[in-house]
Amino acid sequence: MADNEYDAVVIGAGTKSLVTALYLQAYGGLKTCILETRHELGGCWHWQDGPAPGFSLDVHATVMWDWYFLPIHYDFPNFEEYGARFLYHPGAQGIIFRSSDDYLATYHRKYDPTGELTAKELARFSEKDAETFLKIEKTYVEPGGRKDVFLQQAYSLPAEPDQPELMDIWMMNYLKRPDAVYDERLMRMSGLQGLREIWEGVPIRCLLLTTLPFLHMGPDDAFGTAALSFALPFSREMNFVVGGTHMIAHSMIRLFVENGGKFYSKNEVDKIIIENGEARGVRLVDGTEVRAKIVVSGVDPYQLCFRLIGDGHVDMKVVKKIDNLERTWQAGISGVMLAIQEFPNFKASKYNPIFQGGMHGIIVWNRPDEMECYEEFAELMRGKEHENPQIIDMMHQTAIDPTRAPQGKHIISAGALGHVVSAHNEREWINYRRGLAEKLLKVFQDVAPNMTWDNVIDYVVFSAWELSKLKVNMPFGNENIIDWIPSQSGKFRPVPEWAAHRIKPIKNLYGTGAGWGTPPGASCCQGYTCYKAIAIDHGLRKPWEEKNRPW
Ligand SMILES: Cc1cc2nc3c(=O)[nH]c(=O)nc-3n(C[C@H](O)[C@H](O)[C@H](O)COP(=O)(O)OP(=O)(O)OC[C@H]3O[C@@H](n4cnc5c(N)ncnc54)[C@H](O)[C@@H]3O)c2cc1C
């Protein structure tokens, strides 16, 4: 390493810490260095060649919401030109049942701005559901509505632990409205119970239940309904990145370097140097020391506390809370990614042509019965494998983005509920992966008959096991770093003392990553709010004030 003295050093080039580094360098005017343990930067904004030569697949994050990079668009006008471009399918989510001809489709808001098309679909099962949806949609998009407040919270430092968060305040007022779909009692229900009370149509219940595993919640977890409350309008703004998610990392890195930032890959940080209660730099695994006035950690809270900081610096009360964080949710998500010769011929396209390549994601259940989710979950908890797993999300980016596959060929990825890392040893995981691919292909064949092995060029399986080996910060294969349960969300995430990014009581040490704040996923939110905390403490430029914007 040519230079061992910086104003700021950033540990890990993840989806959050890369953003903090960019702001520190470009707006904070600090000489900033990123140290990343892997061979390349970007963390979960990552794709690789596969499942066969000539194909490229998103190994981690792939779904990007409209609002994922709001401040970046304002503060770095070249962000899109440098490669961070979104594209979307006209359909948002669809659900198909193997045992019946039932199906349901919802539509992307850009394709269906008023929600009328989605309402029409819901009305096939229940007129009341169509009305319910339109009410929820309205309160989501109206000025000062759920989305505005959500963005304000997502791009702001969290409330003090004893104060309500912006979304709590909004929700309390919403529950009093005559057009409110929820009430306080409903908000305390499990997902399964709440969905039954709100929606008459079974397909919409099944579709929404599938959201819970992504938040690391089961169908009968308390507060499941609260987690799902606005999932439907929320799901109408999902996109992919042209060329793959890593294009976001490329754009971000180019901006960072153009502004004078330095980065070093294959440099694993082992310790944060702490002198007289102040962070003064880091020590790498090879013993090299890099000194800095500000240290930002982009790793998981557990690694930060027990490895990088170590004994004697943090109050034992906080240490205990970190030790007690839930991060081994009972089920994982396993994905099978297939390189295929020809696009699946979905039977459901007979009823609605949007299913033939027009849907962002398709869910496949065996039967239209929300109890199926519960049964599969219960079997997994007993350490068994479900013989006919549901596909909780099937995506086909190549239907709208031909850059990811050789001409005329496609990639299909299918996710299923899977086991946690500790469920199997290495040998068993090999068998599990092979078995999962076989099982999911059978499911595929029922809904798209041309999905036989003859159509498959090659495949890879990505389970909690691979994740735990690939990612230092996800040792249990938990893609959210720590579970998204109410006690570990927003102002409590990861623990109240550290939620505002300041790693108390160590001066000039900051933490970010998906283990912090709201919302889950690969957005820039927690990276941006981390910069906000540093800018306030060190009197750096505040683009949000300069540009007079709310967040
Ligand atoms: C398989 C998978 C699918 C997902 N799908 C989606 C999706 O479709 N949409 C979505 O929004 N979200 C998705 N997510 C979730 C989301 O991507 C992650 O929760 C989030 O991006 C994690 O951000 P992070 O910055 O905390 O961690 P990361 O992005 O993983 O960054 C942490 C970085 O720190 C590095 N690091 C760790 N320890 C050290 C060390 N000691 N020294 C130096 N470097 C270190 C790591 O190598 C890594 O690069 C997915 C995640 C996974 C794993």
pLDDT average, residue stretch 113-135:
98
pLDDT digits (tens, 9 = 90+) for 243-278: 999 999 999 999 999 999 999 999 999 999 999 999
pLDDT digits (tens, 9 = 90+) for 138-161: 999 999 999 999 999 999 999 999
Q: How far is the CA of 427 from the centre of ligand 1 (A)?
A: 26
Confidence of residue 306 (pLDDT cuts 50, 70, 90): very high
End-to-end CA distance of the chain: 37
Q: How far is the CA of 488 from the centre of ligand 1 (A)?
A: 18
Residue nearest to atom 2 of ligand 1 (CA): 60
Nearest to 206 by CA among 108, 120, 358, 102: 102
Kindly list the domain boundaries of the chain, sorted by start residue: 5-50+58-83+243-325+476-546, 87-239+332-418+420-462
pLDDT average, residue stretch 30-58:
95
Q: Looking at 251-265, 331-345, 348-362, which range is the least confident one?
A: 331-345
CATH homologous superfamily of 5-50+58-83+243-325+476-546: FAD/NAD(P)-binding domain (3.50.50.60)
Question: φ, ψ for residue 274 (rounded to 5)?
Answer: -120, 120
pLDDT given for residue 1 in this prediction:
67
From 37, 44, 241, 265, mutation site for ligand 1 pocket: most ligand atoms within 8 A of C-beta: 44
The one-letter amino acid at 277: G
CB burial of residue 84 (10 Å; 0-12, 13-18, 19+): buried
- Give the 3-state secondary structure percentages of the chain, helix then strand then coil, rounded to 5: 40, 20, 45
1 Cα distance to chain centroid: 33
DSSP collapsed to 3 states, 215-280: HCCCCCCCCHHHHHCCHHHHHHHEEEECCCCHHHHHHHHHHHHHCCCEEECCCCEEEEEEECCEEE
Q: How far is the CA of 265 from the centre of ligand 1 (A)?
A: 15
pLDDT given for residue 13 in this prediction:
98
From 58, 473, 480, mutation site for ligand 1 pocket: most ligand atoms within 8 A of C-beta: 473
Q: How far is the CA of 354 from the centre of ligand 1 (A)?
A: 32
Question: φ, ψ for residue 261 (rounded to 5)?
Answer: -70, 155
Q: How far is the CA of 58 from the centre of ligand 1 (A)?
A: 12
Pocket lining: 35 vs ligand 1, CB cutoff 6 Å: yes
Rounded-to-integer distance, Cα 19 and Cα 25, Å: 10
C-alpha pair distances (Å), 519 with each of 158, 159, 248 = 12, 14, 18
Do 443 and 391 touch, CB atoms closer than 8 A?
Answer: yes
Question: φ, ψ for residue 469 (rounded to 5)?
Answer: -85, -35
Give strand pairing partners of 262.
33
What kind and span of H or E run contains 140? helix 127-141
Do 330 and 478 touch, CB atoms closer than 8 A?
Answer: no
Question: Per-residue pLDDT for 330 more than 70?
Answer: no
Pocket lining: 60 vs ligand 1, CB cutoff 6 Å: yes
Pocket lining: 477 vs ligand 1, CB cutoff 6 Å: no
Atom of ligand 1 nearest to the CA of 467: 53
Atom of ligand 1 nearest to the CA of 270: 41
pLDDT digits (tens, 9 = 90+) for 366-393: 999 988 888 888 887 777 777 788 888 8
pLDDT given for residue 362 in this prediction:
96
pLDDT digits (tens, 9 = 90+) for 61-107: 999 999 999 999 999 999 999 999 999 999 999 999 999 888 999 99
Rounded-to-integer distance, Cα 433 and Cα 420, Å: 13
Give strand pairing partners of 462.
335
